[in-house]
Amino acid sequence: MTAIDTYLLLHAFCDELARCGMKHACTSPGSRCTPIVLSLIRERRIRCWSHIDERCAGFFALGAAKASGLPVAVTCTSGTAAANLAPAVIEAFQARVPLIVITADRPPELRDVGAGQTIDQLKLYGDAVKWFVEVGVHDAGPERVRWIRALACRAYWTSLHGRPGPVHLNLPLREPLVLSEPLPRDASGRPDGGPWMTRVPPGPPARRGPSRSLPARGVIVAGRHERDDRLAGAVAALAARAGFPLLADPLSGARHGPAAIARYDLLLRDERFAAAMLPELVIRVGDLPTSKPLRMWLVSLTGVTQVALDPEGAYQDPDGTLSTIDAGDPLAALAAILPRCSADPSWLARWRSADTAASDAIDALLRAQQQLSEPLVAARLGEWLPSNATLLVASSMPIRDVELFFTSAQTAPRVLSNRGANGIDGTVSAAYGVTAASAGPVVLLIGDVALAHDIGGLLAGRRLALKLTIVLLNNDGGGIFHFLPVAGDTDTFEHHVATPHALDFSHAAKLYGCGYERTTDMESLRDAIERSLGCRGATTIIEVRTDRGENLTLHRRIADAALAAVGKAVSRPATAAAPAA
């Protein structure tokens, strides 16, 4: 086996990825991975994004795959480099994001004999990948070239079809790792320019049974669903026509239209409202939203038929509430449901009047605020950002505040978040990945601990000439933990749980060549965001300082005010609840 063999096989492999439709790949430096990196770069149809830190590379690839819906390749050298991809691989598996992870490895004769930078990379990511292949070392004879073309296609389609997710190809490479002569022309691909192998995705659902009419009191719960942008509109339209309240997380893209109930998290904290508004049917699309009151309410609906429309038949049911998982095409299922609906207008009207009462109370309270606050920033981002923008929201309070305070609007930006494994890691890198694969502007809403966790991700801005607007909610620690019982343990809480760090992020901005602004009022925040969206090139960090204790108090005041208003609207008093970490 010579370097020519290695490069011919890799050329065929990358050619097939491009023929299948791959647009983006991420590289990170090393010696062993040189043939993979050079082969990806030479494939002009694939745009290669270089990263120093493999953890950032993995999350960048995740963001690009999330934003484009297409598999993205990520490659790295052998050893701990490959282990650094694990968080992004796990998130991609949990969140059903198609990735093709290509790890360079030492050939078999150099394993477990003390060779440098060599670890056991076989099945390194365990069950967090859909498919693992030890590619092996081969001569580039016609049979092996055909085989590697088919392998590339299979990796691509496997990551994309059915339940999307990561696949892992471990690629041992023998020295020499660079070519000292020109690569012979390779015309081994299909002459029509198509992939070596295509796979027809799962077909239309089996014909549905007789059309019994459905109960009039239905509810639709819509959660994170990134892969089919037609679904959000179809769900909102069905909810409106069927008269079913639509409890839509902004991550579903479906929080709009006359049936959208934006304040479900608050409404369902009111025990009497939750008990009175019992549905006869629940239809779920996408993941379960984050809201704990919503999840608890779904659990309480014993005896109510709960159907999940999930094209991959994924088991998203931590509380065992589902009656059916319908793995057919959700659009076809929605179309089949509509003629069976017989709306009871008073059902939706009661939800809506409570929702309006809660919304008015929240608005009044937020408008009366003199200072910038975390809820206010989340609420206004939903209104200010143009509909062609993408808002990537970090885990912890930002994602909860977006769920709680985004209003219902057709013009809202697209909202993405890493909610497969709910990690606060890799968020900056994922945001740059989203930028790389998005036409419109990208804004990242992030807490200070999450930003500190992936501060190295900022490097992508200048190195890869990508622009990002970062709205940083800096409460010097994990504000979420103040909502949890652990906050009562004062001896250890501050240092070990809240983890204040006193970081001055303006220095990070300087180090990574980002713009930096600190804002203290609404007007200057809006101006700073507009300036950043309007400027060319650079990333801007726009910092809003908040206080964790005051944030807890404000959330409680908002919940109390909203619940009092809901209580009045439905002539009942109310109680409050806390989010889960």
What is the binding site for Mg ion (CB under 5 A)?
A: 447-448, 475, 479
Phi, psi of 108 (to 5 degrees): -55, -35
Choice from 310, 329, 448, 517 touching ligand TPP (CB under 6 A): 448
Q: Which of 234, 242, 281, 449 binds ligand TPP (CB under 6 A)?
A: 449
Does 581 contact ligand TPP by CB under 6 A?
yes
Cα separation, 455 vs 466, in Å, equals 16
Q: How far apart are CB 416 and ligand TPP at their closest, in Å?
A: 17
Q: Which is nearer to Mg ion, 13 or 505 (CB)?
A: 505
Amino acid letter, residue 163: R
Beta-carbon contacts of 572 under 8 Å, excluding residues fewer than 6 positions away, are 270, 272, 273, 276, 566
Per-residue binder mask for ligand TPP (CB under 6 A), 363-402, x = binder: -------------------------------xxxxx----
Would you count residue 158 as binding ligand TPP (CB under 6 A)? no
Please tell me whether residue 172 binds ligand TPP under the rule CB under 6 A: no
Taking residues 259 to 278 in sequence order and writing x for each that binds ligand TPP by CB under 6 A, - otherwise, the string is --------------------
Q: Write down the H helix ranges in 21-112.
A: 34-42, 54-68, 80-83, 86-95
Give helix 345-367 / helix 548-569 axis angle, nearest 10°: 140
541 binds ligand TPP, rule: CB under 6 A = no
**Whose Cβ is closer to ligand TPP: residue 158's or residue 290's?**
290
State the Cα–Cα distance between residues 395 and 140, nearest whole angstrom.
46
Residue least distant from ligand TPP (Cβ): 447
Q: Which does 118 bind (CB under 5 to 8 A by kind): Mg ion, ligand TPP, none?
A: none
Q: Give the closest residue to 347 by CA, choosing from 252, 423, 276.
A: 276
User: With respect to ligand TPP, which residue has the nearer C-beta, 66 or 217?
Assistant: 66
Residues 6 or more apart whose Cβ sits within 8 Å of residue 21:
70, 156
Task: Select from ligand TPP, Mg ion, none the partner in contact with residue 299, using the beta carbon and a kind-dependent cut-off of 5 to 8 Å.
Answer: none
CB of residue 28 to ligand TPP, shortest distance in Å: 20
Q: Please report where in the chains the tokens 């994924």 appear, as a residue.
A: 314
CB of 229 to Mg ion, least distance (A): 31
Residue 31 or residue 422: which is nearer to ligand TPP going by CB? 422
Question: Please, what sign has the CA dihedral across residues 330, 332, 336, 341?
Answer: positive
By CB under 6 A, is residue 115 in contact with ligand TPP? no
What is the number of helices (H) and of strands (E) in the chain? Answer: 21, 17
Place of tokens 């250890």: 492
Counting every residue, how long is the chain?
A: 581
Reduced to 3 states (helix: H, G, I; strand: E, B; else coil), residue 479 is helix
CB of 548 to Mg ion, least distance (A): 7
Binding of residue 423 to ligand TPP (CB under 6 A): yes
x/- site string to ligand TPP, residues 455 to 494, per CB under 6 A? --------------------x--xxx--------------
Please give the angle made by the CA atoms of 89, 131 and 30, to the nearest 5 degrees: 55
**Rounded to the nearest 5°, which phi and psi values hold at 284?**
-115, 135
User: Where on the chain is the footprint of ligand TPP (CB under 6 A)?
Assistant: 394-398, 422-425, 447-450, 475, 478-480, 581
